[in-house]
Amino acid sequence: MTVETNPSDCGIWNKEGSCLIPLALMETLPLYHRETIPTDYLDIMGHMNIRWYFDLFAKSGRKFFASHGLDNDYFRGGKFGVFTLKQFIQYFAEVHVGQTVAIHTRLIGRSEKRFQFMQFMINQTTSRLASTFEALITHADLKLRLAAPMPAQIAQKFDATLTKDQTLDWEAPVCGVMRL
């Protein structure tokens, strides 16, 4: 999908300089975290330090997991959990103190044991895509410390999300190195 649009309305650009994914399409994805950036997040360059991007993506990711049954109660059982296998972050625009960011999430795919998702950090103050985060996660048996199939009730929730996300008329701008 290539769209001609106002430069401030575009989230991801293609190599030819046309808008590949308008910001408005990213904003239709489920919102899992919103935060106004405090002074503590500032680095010596005068913008949000990279460690806080990861922290915000992690907060959003935990809410995404919980919405699929991978919540604190599930993990407290001590039998199963999740391990992160791969991560990829891209930075597109600075985020400054006092600005508000919103993180929207899209499921890319899943297998019996793994799922891949992508998050879009949108700076709501500037109306620009600030960053994307892509991850590959495996469900794990915590006694054996090995990958394990997801329980049916969790797999069904991921399948429902995946079915919805696969109907979107735009391709997620994945890094291309993650495989389920």
Residue 122, domain member (yes or no) = yes
Residue 42, domain member (yes or no) = yes
Q: Residue 42 and residue 30: Cα distance in Å, rounded? A: 27
Residue 159, domain member (yes or no) = yes
Structural domain containing residue 130: 30-165
The per-residue pLDDT for 6 is: 67
Residue 56 neighbours by CB under 8 Å, 6+ apart:
33, 35, 101, 103, 121
User: Could you tell me if 34 and 102 are in contact, meaning their C-beta atoms sit under 8 angstroms apart?
Assistant: yes
Q: What averages of pLDDT result for each successive group of 10 residues across the chain (180 residues)?
A: 63 91 96 98 94 97 98 93 97 97 98 98 97 98 97 98 97 94
Residue 132 neighbours by CB under 8 Å, 6+ apart:
89, 90, 92, 118, 119, 120, 121, 173
The per-residue pLDDT for 141 is: 97
At which residue do the structure tokens 């495989």 appear? Answer: 179
Q: What is the domain count for the chain?
A: 1
Residue 10, domain member (yes or no) = no
> Rounded to the nearest 10 degrees, how much is the dihedral formed by the CA atoms of 32, 45, 20, 101?
20
Domain CATH number, residue 54: 3.10.129.10
DSSP 68-99: TT-SHHHHHTSSEEEEEEEEEEEE-S---TT-
Joined together, the tokens standing for residue 77 give: 């059982």
Distances (CA, A) of 169 to 19, 93, 119, 137, 157: 14, 25, 17, 25, 21
Q: Could you tell me if residue 145 is left (phi over 0), alpha (psi between -120 and 50 degrees) or otherwise beta?
A: left
Q: Residue 125 and residue 104: Cα distance in Å, rounded? A: 15
- CB neighbourhood size of 152 (10 A): 9
The per-residue pLDDT for 142 is: 96
User: Could you give the 3-state DSSP secondary structure of residue 144?
Assistant: coil
Exposed, middle or buried by CB within 10 Å (0-12, 13-18, 19+), for 66?
Answer: middle
Of 133, 152, 132, 150, whose CA–CA distance to 141 is shortest? Answer: 150
Residue 35, domain member (yes or no) = yes
